[in-house]
Amino acid sequence: MAFEYLKALHIIFVITWFAGLFYIVRLFIYQAEALEKPEYEKNILSPQLNLMAQRLWYIITWPSAILTLIFGFGVLFYRWGYMQLGFMHAKLGFVLLLYIYHFICHKIYKDLQSGKAKWTSTQLRMWNEVATVLLFAIVFLIVLKSLISVVWGIAGLLALSILMMLGIKWYKKIREKGNE
C-alpha cells in the first residue's frame, strides 16, 4: 500500500511541477515583452508580472520539483529492479535534462526579476517547447518501457513543434503587420 501512495504523490508533484514550468516560461515571455514597453507601461506591468513569477516559482514550481525528486526516489526504491532495464536509464537521463531545464529557467527567472531580458519573447516561446518534448519522452518511456517507441514519439513531437514554431512566426508577422 505504501508504494501506491508514493507513486500517487510522485505523479501529483510531476503534474504540478510541469504546470509550473509551462506557466513560468509564459510569464517570462510577458516579462520580456513588458521590458520593451514604454516606461509608464513597464512601470505598471513589470512589478505585477514579477510578483506573479515569484509566487509561481517559489510556492509551486520549486517545491514540486523537490517533492517529485523525493517521491521519485521512493518509487524507484520499491521498483529497484527497473534499474536493470534500459528504458529506466533513458527515462532518468531525460529527468536529468528536465532538472537542467529547471535550473536554466531559474537563471532566466533571476535575470528577469532584476529587469534584464537576455532572451527574446520568440526565444522563450521556443524554450517552452523543450519542456513539452521532455514530458513526452518521459511519459512514453515510463508507460511503454520501450526506447524505439520514444524515438518515434519524439520525432513526431519535434515535427509538430517545428510546425508550431512556423505558426508562431507567421502569427507574429500578422500581428506586427496589424500594428502598422
Task: Express each pLDDT in 165-179 by its tens digit.
Answer: 788 788 888 878 877
- pTM confidence score: 0.85
Residue 165 grid coordinates: 514554431
Nearest of 144, 135, 130 to residue 17 by alpha carbon: 135
Task: Express each pLDDT in 100-136 by its tens digit.
Answer: 999 999 999 999 999 999 999 989 998 998 998 899 8
| 75: helix, strand or coil | helix
**Do 62 and 150 touch, CB atoms closer than 8 A?**
no
Q: CA-CA distance, 48 to 6, in Å (whole number)?
A: 37
DSSP 114: T
Q: Which positions make up the binding site for heme?
A: 10, 91
Identify the domain containing residue 16 by its residue range.
2-178
Count how many domains the chain has: 1
Nearest of 16, 3, 136 to residue 73 by alpha carbon: 3
Residues of the chain falling short of pLDDT 50: none
Q: Which positions make up the binding site?
A: 10, 91
Q: What is the pLDDT of residue 100?
A: 98
